[in-house]
Structure 1
């Protein structure tokens, strides 16, 4: 238990970190939901990059299926099944997240006035997994990205919008934390250079880290 509660942070324009945003009960419910979503067909898979390399995280998509570097309606790089529907619970969480991060009537943040999330990407970080710096830029709109962390803590590297090199800021994300990035930092490079193994609450029944990102595609 924290001696002093962790407080909200705004590490860059349009970026908001809300610690302990998900309650323990909500975290457990999402872990159970992810287990169901991860079942075949259209379940969890290893993503292969165009250069032949494989991502160290395992991933699944909801609503629209993502693979480098496009969205489709079937798991073209997996079992070929139709992607699972976007769950209403993720839409509800995303809308609540934007209100808590930016206020009920945000100004100056593109994509919040007519926000309609329709993509969920779930990444599972086993011990030793990481993710290199990248941009989330396959969407056709610039609505903010909502990111939820469950399980092991991690180092989240928030870069700049131009290159994968410095300047960047390293943030510590723990289970239950919310991170929202939009506005001028919507297309910032970001990644997870390392996780902190075995830091998850055993009550979650989870080994490693789950990251759920919720996005609006702009696709029809």
Structure 2
């Protein structure tokens, strides 16, 4: 009898544990896909690997949180505080980060294709080896940011501030740099085919077109 019921007991425990994980609550936020967690304080929260696709975190604070490897596709993090947050290797396609604060955030290896960064602050952020194809950085601040080997094809960097940023080896084909600042930036080895530099500030830039 025990041999017959043991697999059922194990399955029940596994399902219960999975359900508990799905319903995990952190700082008043129900951690699950499609959750609504606006204007909450989640500073330093450990959310590594969680699935928060299609979720709303508008105007919340996740400064110093661990979201490494998280699923954040099409989530809304507009005007959210993500300073120093670990977002390495996270899946963030078409995420909304408009007006977000990402100073010194770690995003190396993340998939951010089609992401919105309008008016966001990414000063000193690490975006090395990220996928940023078609991303919108209009008026974003990227001073001192690391964008080494990033794939930024067709990204919009109109009026963005990239002063002192490193874009070494980045794929910048078709990127719009109109009225952007690349003062003291480093584009050594970057692919620039089709990139637009109308009204771009390039004083002290290494690798910028003459």
TM-score (structure 1 length as normaliser): 0.22
Q: Larger RCO: Structure 1 or Structure 2 (Cα < 8 Å, ≥ 6 residues apart)?
A: 1
Higher strand share: 1
Higher helix share: 1
User: Rg bigger for which structure?
Assistant: 2
